[in-house]
Amino acid sequence: MSKPLYLGEMLLHWCRKCNVPVLGKECACGNRTESVTVTPPGDIRPAFEYDIELINAVSLQQFNAPLISDERVVVLNKAPYDDRMDEIIVDGEVLGSIRFELDSLKWVLLLRVEGARCLFQNKSLSAMKGWVTLEEGAVKFILGGANLLAPGVLDADPDIQEKDEVVVLNPSGKVVATGRARMNGKLMRERPKGVAVKIRDKEEPRDLTVLQGGQTWKEVVKANKKFMEEFIGRSHKFINNVSSSMTKPVTVSYSGGKDSLAVLQLVSECLEDFDVLFADTGIEFPETVINAQEVSRLYGKPLKSISSGNAFWESVDSFGPPSVEMRWCCKVCKLGPITQLIEGNYEEGCLTFIGQRKYESDTRAKSERVWKNPWVGNQVGAAPIQDWTAMHVWLYIFMHDLPYNPLYGKGFDRIGCWLCPSCSVADLHRLRETHPEFAEKLEKYLIGYAQSSGLSQEWVEHGMWRWKKLPPRLQEIAKAKGIPTVPKVDVNSKLKFTVTSGYRPCKQGGVSAEGSFGKPIDLEKIETSRMLEAVGRVAFMEGVASIFQGEDSAQVFASGTVTARSDTEKQVRQLIESVELSIQRALHCSGCGVCIGKCPHDVVTMKNGIALIGDKCVHCGKCIKVCPVVKFG
């Protein structure tokens, strides 16, 4: 599981008098608020109707009762996890988390004790599911930090299955703990040896305190008026200061997401003369394109847009599926076109206000608020809402009744390309319900790619295509389920390398290049030859080779993908070219020996008719371009 990420001040408080969330220590009613402890980074947001329906559907499935049974203000906090997980905050209490589990590919509700009280207080156990009662004498051990052992079980729902989420109650029916079953309910009743429930959360048994419900988000906006005015004022000052400090024409980058919508409204409150930019990647949701057009009409600004058309599908066979490490699609479908859009409309460049926030990622938290885009050389970017949480953004949108993208109300927590590898597997599964034609097109391509690479449909189902190097949790799942993750190599096929380079998407500083041979390559043969040593220091692990050349680096994946990072485009192109040529040498060496005579340090030798680079190589690279494979291959 991902570690908590501290990106800024934790701002969520709760007014128990008004029963609403407040972004500070005092509510507009004058009442002091109480701090709500949530998992960092604390990018809190409102729960929409679909979110509440999903929470209740999962709660009904697991416990036979809805968690949120009446009209209440519900806040979600996006917590670090391997896929998607949101903490659920109601009445100022964290009731639990709902997360999409990658092994079962299902949503699971992980209750805290307070959430379990909401479900089980004053309920007959005969009407509930997922419950375990324990002996009174076992309560002190649970509160002391122990798991529930089977001999301490008094009774249990016989339908509990191993790994189910369960609620543990004392003999009088008060909640003591929540956790996950380590044996089924029937076995628990037999009280054998062993752990019955692995405890996750526990508290002294007590009655639930229920605050009056019925609040709406209008009341939340009213309660936060002072704090919102403060944040809005700072953003207005930033916009006015930055725009007055330069002579470039002003633009707003609109993506169809909530953050860019808030920035557009803020800029419209400060400036009259500005343009709205929109890059249609060709793989946008139709709702996003329609929303961009609606917003343009609302603000009375012409939408300066450019479309990439079918560029993604025309390029995917060359590069393979995009991944978190290799988002070639950003360069082909977004950064290149937006460069053309700016250069075609603004001869001396432009100032662009962008909806970037520090609570989104560690990289954005470290970013400057004003920066020169090294990829679009004549564009200056500026972030007016850098210090805002998602809750600030949504309250601002609600204040002005702005036309936000309807996809937020359909369960998507981020708006981007519908097949983005950075989205969650949960969102990809949701895509099957909201846009089945898109899901079918993507899955058809991915399954075809998997079959041609010796991979399985499970590799597609579990979202493993989104990574060149799988995160630890996905590695565990692949091992447990026997899912192959390293593509098979066709030794008789010719290698054709395609490369794109440009400003690293979504990160400040540095230039990236990405390329692909379009098919799997034999990393074992490359490792044996040590040809990559001519480029830099090399480290191999399953399915990937990493090359380090001073501060620059590159990675070679068994899938045939190559990525490189450097400070300038010239350097990164040189690096990725050297890596590509060294791979060609390793895979097609004829054993001619030309490189042996050209090595100034005598570290190249011949073995079994193949050139090998020794461990004393100084990475000068002089053997690369003299190779006949490189010169004539």
Angle between the N-to-C axes of helices 113-120 and 49-63, in degrees from 0 to 180, rounded to the nearest 10 = 70
* pLDDT score of 368: 83
Could you give the 3-state DSSP secondary structure of residue 402? coil
Across 541-553, average pLDDT = 89
* HSE-up of residue 272 (Cα within 13 Å, Cβ side): 0
How many Å apart are CA 170 and CA 20, to the nearest integer? 32
Residue 506 has pLDDT above 60, yes or no: no
Name the pLDDT band for 226 (thresholds 50, 70, 90).
very high
Across 359-388, average pLDDT = 81
Domains of the chain: 13-202 (2.30.130.10), 224-408 (3.40.50.620), 498-632 (3.30.310.10)
Across 371-380, average pLDDT = 77
* Residue the block writes with tokens 């995009």: 322
Residue 235 has pLDDT above 80, yes or no: yes
Minimum mean pLDDT range among 71-75, 87-91, 563-567: 563-567
* pLDDT score of 505: 47
How many Å apart are CA 75 and CA 54, to the nearest integer? 14
Residue 476 has pLDDT above 60, yes or no: yes
* pLDDT score of 508: 41
Q: String of b and e for 561-596 (b: at least 16 CB within 10 Å)?
A: bbbbbbeebebbbbbbbbbbbbbbbbbebeeeeebe
Minimum mean pLDDT range among 89-98, 341-350, 449-458: 341-350
Name the pLDDT band for 95 (thresholds 50, 70, 90).
very high
Across 497-518, average pLDDT = 70
C-alpha dihedral sign at 315, 319, 320, 324: negative
Mean pLDDT across the chain, nearest whole number? 92
Give the pLDDT confidence of 157-186 residue by residue, as tens digits. 999 999 999 999 999 999 999 999 999 999
Give the pLDDT confidence of 287-306 residue by residue, as tens digits. 999 999 999 999 999 899 99
On whether the CB atoms of residues 152 and 138 are closer than 8 A, the answer is: yes
Q: String of b and e for 357-394 (b: at least 16 CB within 10 Å)?
A: bbbbbeebbebeebbebbbbeebbbbbbbbbbbbbbbb
How many Å apart are CA 178 and CA 131, to the nearest integer? 9
* pLDDT score of 339: 83
* pLDDT score of 377: 63
Residue 366 has pLDDT above 80, yes or no: no
Across 361-379, average pLDDT = 75
How many Å apart are CA 592 and CA 577, to the nearest integer? 22
Backbone angles phi, psi at 450, to 5 degrees: -60, -45
Stronger pLDDT, 2 or 291, i.e. the higher one: 291
Residue 1 has pLDDT above 70, yes or no: no
* pLDDT score of 632: 73
* pLDDT score of 569: 85
Residue 507 has pLDDT above 50, yes or no: no
Identify which of 50, 14, 12 has the alpha carbon closest to the alpha carbon of residue 359: 12
Q: What percent of the chain has pLDDT over 70?
A: 95
Angle between the N-to-C axes of helices 258-270 and 286-299, in degrees from 0 to 180, rounded to the nearest 10 = 10
Stronger pLDDT, 10 or 20, i.e. the higher one: 20
Could you give the 3-state DSSP secondary structure of residue 39? coil
Name the pLDDT band for 4 (thresholds 50, 70, 90).
low
Residue type, 87: E
How many Å apart are CA 232 and CA 234, to the nearest integer? 5
